[in-house]
Amino acid sequence: MTELSKYRNIGIFAHVDAGKTTTTERILKLTGKIHKIGEVHDGESTTDFMEQEAERGITIQSAAVSCFWNDHRFNVIDTPGHVDFTVEVYRSLKVLDGGIGVFCGSGGVEPQSETNWRYANESEVARIIFVNKLDRMGADFLRVVKQTKDVLAATPLVMVLPIGIEDEFTGVVDLLTRKAHIWDDTGLPENFTVTDVPADMVDLVEEYREMLIETAVEQDDDLMEAYMEGEEPSMEDIKRCIRKGTRTLAFFPTYCGSAFKNKGMQLLLDAVVDYLPAPQEVDPQPLTDEEGNETGEFAIVSADEPLKALAFKIMDDRFGALTFVRIYSGRLKKGDTILNSATGKTERIGRMVEMQADERNELESAQAGDIIAIVGMKNVQTGHTLCDVKHPVTLEAMVFPEPVISIAVAPKDKGGSEKMGIAIGKMIAEDPSFRVETDEDSGETILKGMGELHLDIKVDILKRTYGVELIVGEPQVAYRETITAQVEDQYTHKKQSGGSGQFGKIEYVIRPGEPNSGFVFKSSVVGGNVPKEFWPAVEKGFGSMMNTGTIAGFPVLDVEFELTDGAYHAVDSSAIAFEIAAKGAFRQSIAKAKPQLLEPVMKVDVFSPEDNVGDVIGDLNRRRGMIKDQVAGVTGVRIKADVPLSEMFGYIGTLRTMTSGRGQFSMEFSHYSACPNSVAEKVVTQVKERKAAEAKK
């Protein structure tokens, strides 16, 4: 087994089309994991193995691959670049120790790269920057380096400089060694020579090398002092400082090349070994209690500790159910019995496999630092902790965003209902951001997701992977309701029908809550007018009604309920009586509190060629968008805006038409905002018409 210090658990993050899957393919080729390189544009890449991925040329799921370089084990995860699948990026960041941020040499810092970078910052994941596609028209390495400073507020540490650019790009100069690495035109990664720096680059190389060393030695006071006095540090000391600064996110070693042309990849792999952290060099995962509060204890990364592992992904494929697991502590062997601390149930480990995208190698054992898949586990969900039976623990949970868009689906024939139910059950287990509900009025199945593409893919999977013929409705926005005024009120539930009756009286105040607070319950009851044992029933009753508002039946957000007084009967009062009273209080008082319809607002990031900026901004304004920022670049302009989701359906088609196919955009949920009256009235009318139509069926 590989020493823990030689493990590198890394993710590859980028905007759509920046070349991250191609970069992964080249890593696998260089490390000997694949012999024929698969191209994304041919639908043959190793990590894009879903039918939908191969067709659309995008990565939807995070594919895990293990490989070796210079006696080090790499567990590599290729993550999606499309914003509708950022839950996969979030999931990956939870279990990774480092990453490679891939940026397009001509496109620069594009919308989704910025989102992924922000997620990685929040997770405190150390990264290397790789500026790809330097062979492309319009590529400019130093411009992209500047963008990482300006847009990402990052500190890039330039480690190499390109030799030539666009179709004259032939290789890179390693600043530390002052050596040029030049590839021939065969496209084979091993066909390169190491030679002296080209004469016309010597001054530039010395300038950037000096900046590199100055930045690196800031990590060591003694070295910095010696350097200021004219003593250059040893190569070993410089690398140690770079490693330290990378681990602490003080800076990000920055490389460049062309993954497609196999140029510059070896230096990138060397950098993963030299500068990204081993598992034990990363802050350990916190342990929590049953409520999710941190206990102050941690999952120490060591094979000698009791087992602590996180199930971070469930996948159902032709080989059976796979549970992807990151082992933080301990060892795991075939035949072991382990505890799922979330369910309290034990499971015996049957088969364990090491993944190479959709291929696998059987394993007899695994240890701290490994990312593996376990075959055939039952009752395990994403985020569950797997641990030693004698040492039960819970790792910090994974939290996933709420869906913002939904569609209704129904099988075309009765025979498809059972097939659809089984398929949806598997899909929910695989993707925690995908939710499914049954409409109580119509009986329709409602699919909920993070965006149009997200749900398009789900419908496609149901149709093609599982063979379910579907009738698909129009996309629906996940509206919400709230209140805008305070109401003091009371409600009495009283029922007498022979024998013991039911009695519960509550006096209360409902008021608007803080943004994103959900439902907040308080009690200021003094004395025993409403005994404490009934307070949870009041909270449960009112809270259970928050799923259905009074305007159009949408869930209600951000309401504070304060129980102030009431009355009870020694014989007739019970928890159920007070729960019913609280439900009645909701129906009675929410309508008095000036309810308001809320709509999801998306953070939209658009790239437009300069010639089309006026049209793009005008169109966003017509969609009720609020322009937040415009940033001019060499190849076009980035426009940031807040736009209601209801106005964004089909936007990609409009954008492509306006920009002759050159425009790009990404969007993610930002916040809920009050609907204008005209929009609210239209939504309410649509809901009424839909319910009336369903009633006639």
Pairing status of strand 470-472 against strand 192-196: unpaired
Report the greatest alpha carbon distance in the chain. 103
Residue 8 class from Cβ within 10 Å (0-12 exposed, 13-18 middle, 19+ buried)? buried
3-state secondary structure of 399: coil
Beta-strand ranges (E) seen in 257-358 are: 285-288, 294-299, 308-317, 320-329, 331-333, 337-340, 345-348, 351-356
Integer Cα distance of 593 and 578 in angstroms:
22
Cβ atoms within 10 Å, residue 61: 24
Count of beta carbons in the 10 Å neighbourhood of residue 591: 14
Closest CA to 37 of 151, 145, 141, 188: 188
Locate 168 and state its tokens.
Answer: 């004259």
Query: Residues 623, 643: contact at Cβ < 8 Å?
Result: yes
End-to-end alpha-carbon separation of the chain, Å?
64
**Do 232 and 213 contact (CB within 8 A), yes or no?**
yes
Assess contact for 588 and 594: CB atoms under 8 A: no
Rounded Cα–Cα distance for residues 467 and 463 (Å): 5
For tokens 């400082």, name the residue.
241
Residue whose tokens read 């070693």: 253
| Pick from 362, 283, 356, 374: nearest CA to 75 | 356
Structure tokens of 332?
């795991």
Residue numbers in the known binding site for GTP are 14-21, 78-82, 132-135
Q: What is the Cα–Cα distance from 424 to 430, expressed in whole angstroms?
A: 10
What order of strands is seen across the sheet that includes strand 559-567? 487-495, 502-512, 559-567, 519-523
The DSSP annotation for 401-425 comes to PPP-EEEEEEESSTHHHHHHHHHHH
Residue 247 belongs to what H/E stretch?
helix 235-247
Q: How far is CA 170 from CA 21, 99, 185, in A?
A: 22, 26, 8
What token pair was written down for 143? 């411009």
Spatial contact of 156 and 148, defined as CB atoms under 8 Å apart: yes
- Give the residue numbers of the binding site: 14-21, 78-82, 132-135
Q: Which long-range contacts (CB under 8 A, 24 or more apart) does 538-542 make?
A: 538/506, 538/563, 538/578, 538/579, 538/581, 538/582, 539/582, 540/579, 540/582, 541/578, 541/579, 541/580, 541/581, 541/582, 541/583, 541/585, 541/586, 542/582, 542/583, 542/585, 542/586
Q: Which helix (H) or strand (E) holds 657?
A: helix 651-658
